[in-house]
Structure 1
Amino acid sequence: MPAPEGAPARGEGTAATDAPAASPTGYTLIPPPGWELIPLREGTEEALRALVDGAVRDLPEELPRDRRTEARMALHKELHQAVRQAREAHAHSLYLPVRRVRGHLLAASFVVSERLRAPGSGPRDDLVAGLLRSPGAGREAEATEVDGVAGVRTEGVVAADPARGVEHDSRHVDYVFPVPGPEGGRWVTVSFSVLTGEGPHGELADALVGLFDAVMTTFRWRYA
């Protein structure tokens, strides 16, 4: 799976080198300004610590010391929760906004993960056709293309889940497409989610979904 290992360059993932020569060894994409990659295999704690330190430095200088400490602890907790949820989803890389908008960090993220097809399935695994026919309750699906590879884009609203620390509904967009190469059977999912005070269909959520769609136009496979 094209995924970060260690501390890759900004916006890039790497993969194991035992894949066939015609298969990708990784991917590149251009994250939005103010977004950073969090590796989920190695270097996670170092990356989180750097993000927290940077966010605290950006706070107003006149903010009392105890408020800075509270902000540091709260952000540390939120980032670790985002990492935990990404790992539960078997993600290989996590992208988070680190630049404040109107004084606040955006409650948004996107992750890159892998899914495998069932043995004996066709070359497209019927995954695209299946998602287009039945994308899931409350979701819409459309055919798409990522770096010349046919896939599917689904979008919908995920209900709040207080048991997992999610107090409000959130907007989700998923791109699912195959990894090119002779072996077949490897699929990638790039999943975006955003939660705003305006609700899942507010102007800010719409703008961030548009931003994520623009990011996906920059996705490129990297070959050895």
Structure 2
Amino acid sequence: MPSEATELVSVDSPVTGYRIILPDDWTRLPLRHGTEDAVRRILDEALSRVPFRASTGQASDFTRQLESRFRGVVAEARRSGALDLYLPVRKTGTVNLGASLVVSETLLPRRGESDAGDPTDVAVRLLSRDGSRNADLSSGELDGAVAVRREHVVPADAGRGAELASRRVEYLASVPGDAARWFLAAFSTVGGGRPDDELADALVEWFDAVMATFRWRRG
């Protein structure tokens, strides 16, 4: 049964947040407030459901590795200034770090409505700031707002804890009523070990279906 996930954005605007529908096994971690409580809850729940049959030493190693990787993912999302991090947590207690969804907000310098430029062009420029090449770009709408979708492959980077290349899909939408505010939903997956395998393809299709449920929350 799908569940609804919501985060309010504390900015004075007709739009006060967003709604998306995710499966029950996806858990939201707020990154502005209450992050440590959410991290501890997820780790405690995950570890309580794992039937350790190994020695106490092996169990402790597993616990440390899981917590280190999990906190690393959360820290990376917080460094980017994100609002929310979503991760799949299976009923067995397994925290799957092979896929994630990060929601954030991008602000442009407020130079007045006339200087904002065409929203689609602005979105493309914003998504191209990191210099990614060979990206698949397309434009459309999210709940009536101008949006751009970008899909590309992010190379492995062991120095940042990314041992495998990942497939990344981003939706960037102009927040209605405020030309300086942009909503960004970034999905990432390593698939079954390769960003172009069948599992990665299926997960990208799934994420596109999730974004079809996107709605603005208004005050």
| Normalised-by-shorter TM-score class | 0.7 to 0.9
Residue in 1 that maps onto 2:168: 172
Quick one: which of 47, 65, 69 aligns to 1:56? 47
Question: What percentage of residue pairs aligned between the two structures are identical?
Answer: 39
Q: Match for 1:221: what amino acid?
A: W
Quick one: which of 202, 206, 209 aligns to 1:211? 206
Residue in 2 that maps onto 1:150: 146
CA distance in 2, matches of 1:198, 1:104: 17
Q: TM-score, normalised by structure 2?
A: 0.85
Q: Note closer, same or farther for the CA distance 1:220–1:157 as it changes in structure 2 (3 Å cut).
A: same
Q: Is the 8 A contact 2:119 2:146 kept in 1?
A: no
Q: Does 1:12 align with 2:6?
A: yes
Residue in 2 that maps onto 1:70: 61
What's the offset of the Cα at 1:13? 0.4
Q: Match for 1:142: what amino acid?
A: S
Q: How does 1:37-186 map to 2 (within 5 A)?
A: 37-60=28-51, 62-99=53-90, 105-118=96-109, 119=111, 120-122=115-117, 124=119, 126-128=121-123, 130=125, 136-181=132-177, 183-186=178-181
CA distance in 2, matches of 1:45, 1:65: 26
Where 1:29 maps in the other structure, the secondary structure is strand
Where 1:69 maps in the other structure, the secondary structure is helix
Where 1:26 maps in the other structure, the secondary structure is strand
Q: Is the 8 A contact 2:28 2:84 kept in 1?
A: yes
Q: How many residues align?
A: 211
Q: Does 1:223 align with 2:218?
A: yes
Gap runs ≥5 in structure 2: none
Q: Is the 8 A contact 2:88 2:95 kept in 1?
A: no
CA distance in 2, matches of 1:61, 1:116: 46
Q: Is the 8 A contact 2:88 2:100 kept in 1?
A: yes
Deviates more, 1:137-146 or 1:103-112: 103-112
What's the offset of the Cα at 1:215? 1.3
Q: Is the 8 A contact 2:5 2:22 kept in 1?
A: yes
Can you list the C-alpha shifts for 1:25-75, whole angstroms capped at 9, x where unaligned? Answer: 111111233110001112111111111122112223545444333222222
What's the offset of the Cα at 1:97? 1.0
Where 1:67 maps in the other structure, the secondary structure is helix
Q: Is the 8 A contact 2:120 2:148 kept in 1?
A: no
CA distance in 2, matches of 1:125, 1:147: 15
What's the offset of the Cα at 1:195? 1.5
Can you list the C-alpha shifts for 1:63-99, whole angstroms capped at 9, x where unaligned? Answer: 5444333222222111111111112222111101111
CA distance in 1, matches of 2:124, 2:72: 34
Q: Note closer, same or farther for the CA distance 1:200–1:37 as it changes in structure 2 (3 Å cut).
A: same
CA distance in 1, matches of 2:200, 2:218: 34
C-alpha root-mean-square deviation of aligned residues, in Å?
A: 2.6
